[in-house]
């Protein structure tokens, strides 16, 4: 009688959520320090001190009625100017405030963008492995999910598979780099080729295929690897950004959409974004944090902690015989399970009090995700258990 | 090619937005103090000092990683307990944290509730005059809007018209009391009769008809009038609340849904609410303000200023010969236009630098809304202009 799809969506807990609940129960039983929970992508690095200082400064010095008041639906003008100027100076592309739409975080950015672009039964290509909620947002916009399989081992885009997956119904492609759950950053070479294919296919089918760049992990990279700014590579691009990871503010729900000024009918796409936001019930992005962003737009958390964690985990797990994808960004380690059975691995690890996420739902079979956005001590203390797990699999 | 409905929704500015833009331009031309802008429902009363103190206290004393971290999708447990306890003690109904789902404000509460309940082409009854965005949210959930016309003059619900509008396809009814735009509070007597009709019709059609109580203006009442708490009157009730007006925090997007524990299959309805929130891209309500609400749950802005404004405006406009609906709550005065032509009145008022909202889109012809959530000085200074407008209409 009520909407059964919504009931199903609310009832079917994600595996991550299941593990999260188990973790709490287990911590009560044996002590939190004895549960090696690597399931959640919740930033462990403290938000920069500038954020706290900025909030206190705003509360003490600004008119509270204005500070907490409605902004225009697309965001406060000065905030959008600050974002546009930052993007312009960092990436050299000609973006203005009129291209920026402030949102309640990455999930909102994606939901709104998809709703703005898609018509019933149009297709969206996602590159496996991919964040499972993409499916939810694409379906909510009436679309159909098409999965493009990656190159085994590197988890870079398989260009042949990608090209084969494009049809007349393809409306958009989501790129998530650095990637959740693999930590892989797509190379500039791959990006250039993806864009070539998209241009060719857009011409062939005589309609634009949009590129949606979901990039909450943009600032979290651990080597000299470059994360190409897609607006500079492809005209019909929408950038979906969130400050959740870059500033460790995931609960505050603050991010943005940039509609590239080079999009075909860019103004109309922007207006459709405004319409989609309205339709989904987003009145404006939280006003206090809009002002925080305007003042801290180029601030980033200290990523050295994540890098240390990555190195510690990667080096040890590799030495134990596990096959890991080397992550250049984000805060996830993607590990191949010895028997190509992610659920079995998840359960065996659990016996050693290690909690990892089996990734079959992410579109790749036989892998688990280890979120290393945790205290270093948790990694250090878990190593004996990982070693025992390796022994159980006869890896050492 | 992109979604044309979204484009239309983003392109078609609401009349309120049009006036807002005009107001800014006109203020630049003749000075802000000479434009008597009564168009926006943006609270003018300062948020309580407790809010600012609470924010600073949280920032100074709480772990920032936790404070700004993800909460569970339905909201932090302690926050939901605080809300449930407040509702329980204020209204005497048996609500627990398990019935509370924290949201990004009233628009999110409504969008999520409608999406959770409705199937394609089911109907939702709204009582005119009604907030225009209801149409957007109902359509987004696949539903159809059915307007029930009010009793002329009092703008209370017309029970005969209401009963006639209920069909087999009726899934929900939205009650907004105190009402935007009329300021009317529905009497307990009316509420009891509405609920009787709903119970009768639910039995007749053999399915629950849900009551959605949209009540952001609950705390803004100016007389001894009682605002009935609908969970105490009808089992299949969802309460959609927002702190936008009660705490003057409209930009912060914080509110909640309560699914009455007495709903048929209450747990399933709650799960569908969780599913709908997920589907629309709401990850969690802003985390800092969740904690603020937990600590200031029974705080309310000083409404005496709004009462003073109401009395000043109502007394003067009535003395000038305007026919006004006496508002017991919210911060709007609903005025009958002398020629039963709201747009004409809007334009004539504009010549006197008075900006009001013509309300044909709110489902009632020939009325304008005057938002008195403004500095008292604006009302005082506008009175000569209102008098001149009355003269132009030969009212005095």
Q: Is the pLDDT of residue B380 over 80?
A: yes
Per the listing, tokens 């969780």 go with B274
The pLDDT-based confidence of A297 (bands split at 50, 70, 90) is very high
What per-residue confidence (pLDDT) applies to B288?
A: 98
CA B230, CA B262: separation in Å to the nearest integer? 12
Q: How far is CA A181 from the centre of its chain?
A: 9
Contact assessment for residue B275 and residue B282, using Cβ atoms and an 8 Å cutoff: no
Those residues whose C-beta lies under 8 Å from the C-beta of residue B65, and which sit 6 or more positions away, are A43, A44, A45, A46, A47, A248
What per-residue confidence (pLDDT) applies to A100?
A: 98
CA A97, CA A78: separation in Å to the nearest integer? 8
State how far residue A162 is from chain B, nearest Cα, in angstroms: 22
Q: Is the pLDDT of residue A13 over 80?
A: no
Q: Is the dihedral of CA B127, B132, B137, B141 positive or negative?
A: positive
What per-residue confidence (pLDDT) applies to A253?
A: 97
In degrees and rounded to multiples of 5, residue B116 shows phi and psi of -70, -35
Those residues whose C-beta lies under 8 Å from the C-beta of residue B351, and which sit 6 or more positions away, are none
Shortest CB distance from A10 goes to which of B105, B250, B275?
B275
ipTM: 0.96
Cα separation values, A93 from A220, A238, A256, B33, Å: 21, 13, 16, 41
- Residue A7 to residue B43, Cβ atoms within 8 A: no
- Residue B10 to residue A273, Cβ atoms within 8 A: yes
**For A334-360, what is the mean pLDDT?**
97
Peptide bond just before B221 cis, omega within 30 deg: no
What per-residue confidence (pLDDT) applies to A223?
A: 84
A157-201 confidence digits (pLDDT tens): 999 999 999 999 999 999 999 999 999 999 999 999 999 999 999
In total, the C-beta contacts within 8 angstroms joining chain A to chain B are 253
CA B216, CA B106: separation in Å to the nearest integer? 7
CA A292, CA B55: separation in Å to the nearest integer? 14
Instruction: Name the token pair of B1.
Output: 């090619």
Q: Which residues of B touch A306 (CB under 8 A)?
A: none
- Residue B47 to residue A64, Cβ atoms within 8 A: yes
What per-residue confidence (pLDDT) applies to B12?
A: 87
Task: Give burial (CB, 10 Å; 0-12/13-18/19+) of B341.
Answer: middle
- Selection from B212, B160, B210 nearest residue B190 by Cα: B160
Q: Which residues of B touch A69 (CB under 8 A)?
A: 42-43, 248, 250-251
- Residue A3 to residue B59, Cβ atoms within 8 A: no
Rounded (5°) CA angle B259-B262-B267:
55
Q: Among the listed ranges A17-21, A125-129, B45-49, B84-88, which one has the minimum average pLDDT value?
A: A17-21
Contact assessment for residue A253 and residue B283, using Cβ atoms and an 8 Å cutoff: yes
What per-residue confidence (pLDDT) applies to B223?
A: 84
Residue A395 in 3-state DSSP?
coil
- Residue B68 to residue A117, Cβ atoms within 8 A: no
What per-residue confidence (pLDDT) applies to B17?
A: 79
B46-60 confidence digits (pLDDT tens): 999 999 999 999 999
Contact assessment for residue A225 and residue A178, using Cβ atoms and an 8 Å cutoff: no
Output the CA torsion A246→A252→A253→A256 (10° steps).
Answer: -50
Q: Which residues of A touch B8 (CB under 8 A)?
A: 275
- Selection from B290, B231, B209 nearest residue B255 by Cα: B290
Beta bridge partners of B256: B102, B241
State how far residue A46 is from chain B, nearest Cα, in angstroms: 5
* Total count of residues recorded for chain B: 396
Rounded (5°) CA angle A299-A300-A306:
165
Per the listing, tokens 């802003």 go with B286
What per-residue confidence (pLDDT) applies to A20?
A: 82
For chain A, how big is the Rg over CA atoms in Å? 21
Please give the residue of chain A at the shortest CA–CA distance from B61: A52
Percentages (nearest 5) of helix, strand, coil residues in chain A: 45, 15, 40
Task: Give burial (CB, 10 Å; 0-12/13-18/19+) of A348.
Answer: middle
CA A229, CA A305: separation in Å to the nearest integer? 25
Q: Are strands A210-214 and A170-175 parallel, antiparallel or unpaired?
A: parallel
Shortest CB distance from B68 goes to which of A44, A117, A248?
A248
**For A339-358, what is the mean pLDDT?**
97
B208-250 confidence digits (pLDDT tens): 999 999 999 999 999 888 999 999 999 999 999 999 999 999 9
CA B332, CA B266: separation in Å to the nearest integer? 35
Instruction: Name the token pair of A45.
Output: 């690095």
What per-residue confidence (pLDDT) applies to B191?
A: 98
**For B29-49, what is the mean pLDDT?**
95
Shortest CB distance from B117 goes to which of A2, A42, A104?
A2
CA A125, CA B20: separation in Å to the nearest integer? 40
A186-196 confidence digits (pLDDT tens): 999 999 999 99
- Residue B65 to residue A248, Cβ atoms within 8 A: yes
Contact assessment for residue B44 and residue B308, using Cβ atoms and an 8 Å cutoff: no
What per-residue confidence (pLDDT) applies to B153?
A: 84
Share of chain A above pLDDT 70, in %: 100
Rounded (5°) CA angle B328-B317-B302:
40
The pLDDT-based confidence of A54 (bands split at 50, 70, 90) is very high
Q: Which of A9, A10, A51 to mutate to test the interface with B (most CBs of B within 10 A)?
A: A10
Rounded (5°) CA angle A370-A374-A379:
70
What per-residue confidence (pLDDT) applies to B13?
A: 75
Please give the residue of chain B at the shortest CA–CA distance from A7: B272
- Residue A6 to residue B65, Cβ atoms within 8 A: no
- Residue A10 to residue B276, Cβ atoms within 8 A: yes
Mean pLDDT, chain A, whole residue set: 96
Q: Which residues of A touch B43 (CB under 8 A)?
A: 65, 69
Beta strands in B59-217 (DSSP E): 100-103, 123-127, 144-148, 170-175, 210-214
**For B147-160, what is the mean pLDDT?**
95
Share of chain B above pLDDT 70, in %: 100
What per-residue confidence (pLDDT) applies to B18?
A: 85
A349-384: burial string, b at 16+ Cβ within 10 Å, e else: bbebbbbbbbbbbbbbebbbbbbbbbeeebbeebbe
CA B289, CA B104: separation in Å to the nearest integer? 10
Contact assessment for residue B103 and residue B151, using Cβ atoms and an 8 Å cutoff: no
The pLDDT-based confidence of A97 (bands split at 50, 70, 90) is very high
The pLDDT-based confidence of A242 (bands split at 50, 70, 90) is very high
Q: Is the pLDDT of residue B41 over 80?
A: yes
Contact assessment for residue B174 and residue B125, using Cβ atoms and an 8 Å cutoff: yes
B272-313 confidence digits (pLDDT tens): 999 999 999 999 999 999 999 999 999 999 999 999 999 999
Mean pLDDT, chain B, whole residue set: 96
CA A256, CA A248: separation in Å to the nearest integer? 16
Q: Which residues of A touch B249 (CB under 8 A)?
A: 68
Neighbours of B223 (CB within 10 A): 12
Task: Give burial (CB, 10 Å; 0-12/13-18/19+) of B135.
Answer: middle
């Amino acid at each position: 009688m009520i909407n059964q799809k919504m009931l199903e969506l609310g009832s079917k807990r994600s595996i991550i959520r299941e593990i999260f609940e188990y973790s709490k129960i287990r911590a009560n039983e044996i002590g939190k320090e004895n549960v090696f929970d690597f399931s959640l992508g919740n930033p462990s690095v403290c938000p920069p001190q500038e954020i706290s200082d900025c909030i206190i400064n705003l509360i003490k010095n600004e008119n509270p009625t204005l500070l907490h008041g409605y902004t225009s639906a697309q965001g406060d003008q000065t905030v959008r100017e600050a974002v546009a100027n930052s993007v312009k100076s960092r990436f050299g592309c000609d973006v203005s405030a009129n291209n920026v739409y402030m949102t309640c975080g990455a999930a909102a950015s994606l939901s709104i963008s998809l709703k703005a672009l898609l018509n019933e039964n149009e297709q969206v290509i996602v590159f496996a492995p991919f964040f499972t909620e993409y499916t939810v947002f694409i379906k909510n916009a009436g679309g159909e999910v098409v999965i493009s399989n990656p190159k085994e081992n590197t988890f870079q885009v398989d260009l042949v598979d990608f090209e084969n997956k494009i049809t007349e119904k393809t409306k958009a492609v989501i790129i998530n780099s650095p990637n959740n759950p693999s930590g892989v950053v797509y190379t500039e070479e791959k990006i250039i080729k993806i864009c070539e294919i998209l241009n060719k296919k857009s011409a062939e089918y005589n309609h634009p295929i949009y590129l949606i760049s979901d990039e909450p992990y943009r600032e979290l990279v651990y080597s000299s690897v470059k994360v190409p700014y897609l607006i500079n590579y492809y005209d019909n691009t929408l950038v979906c950004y969130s400050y959740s990871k870059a500033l460790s503010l995931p609960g505050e729900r603050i991010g943005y959409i940039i509609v590239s000024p080079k999009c075909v009918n860019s103004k109309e796409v922007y207006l459709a974004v405004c319409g989609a936001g309205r339709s989904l019930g987003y009145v404006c992005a939280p006003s206090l944090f809009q002002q925080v962003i305007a003042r801290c737009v180029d601030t980033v958390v200290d990523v050295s902690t994540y890098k240390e964690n990555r190195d510690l985990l990667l080096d040890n797990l590799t030495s134990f015989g596990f096959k890991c994808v080397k992550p250049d960004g984000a805060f996830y380690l993607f590990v191949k399970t010895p028997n190509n059975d992610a659920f079995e691995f998840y359960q065996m690890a659990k016996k050693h009090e290690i909690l990892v996420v089996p990734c079959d739902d992410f579109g790749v079979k036989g892998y688990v995700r280890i979120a290393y956005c945790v205290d270093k001590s948790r990694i250090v203390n878990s190593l004996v258990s990982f070693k025992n797990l390796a022994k159980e699999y006869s890896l050492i």
